[in-house]
Amino acid sequence: MSTLRFTRDHEWVRLDGDLAIVGITDYAQSQLGDVVYVELPEIGHRVKKGKEAAVVESVKAASEVYAPVSGEVAEINQMLTTEPAIVNADPMGDGWFIKLRLDDPKELDSLMDEEGYRRFIEEQP
């Protein structure tokens, strides 16, 4: 069963062993446009669910990426520093932002599953 979950701010989170991988969705990257810069937190930095975890910038504007769950940053995707366009090309795979050591796996339960997110974006204006 997939542990892929989504937030209302268009972040996704997926469990990989004891780490939670976080990125932004295909919908988010298409709304943003061409990504030119990504600012990632430091390894060891603590993030809280719903609070800013990273920044992603398009040609026109900067956007915040919020942590879908609370935890400690265990890994960051260094490739995004040199190849920010990967976020547009493969937002759900190689365009991942950070991997978190989860504080509380139950925080995932309140997030949307794939079907729920699909319905959510259909309702977007």
Residues that bind other proteins (CB under 8 A): 33-34, 36-37, 39, 55, 57-62, 81
Q: How far is the CB of 31 from other proteins (least distance, A)?
A: 9
Q: State the Cα–Cα distance between residues 35 and 10, nearest whole angstrom.
A: 15
Q: Are 68 and 101 in contact (CB under 8 A)?
A: no
Which residue, 37 or 43, is less far from other proteins as judged by CB?
A: 37
Q: How far is the CB of 57 from other proteins (least distance, A)?
A: 5
Which residue, 64 or 104, is less far from other proteins as judged by CB?
A: 64
Which residue, 87 or 108, is less far from other proteins as judged by CB?
A: 87
In the 8-state DSSP scheme, what is residue 1? -
Q: State the Cα–Cα distance between residues 47 and 15, nearest whole angstrom.
A: 16
Q: How far is the CB of 87 from other proteins (least distance, A)?
A: 13
Q: Give which of 75, 105, 80, 81 is closest to 90, Cα–Cα.
A: 80
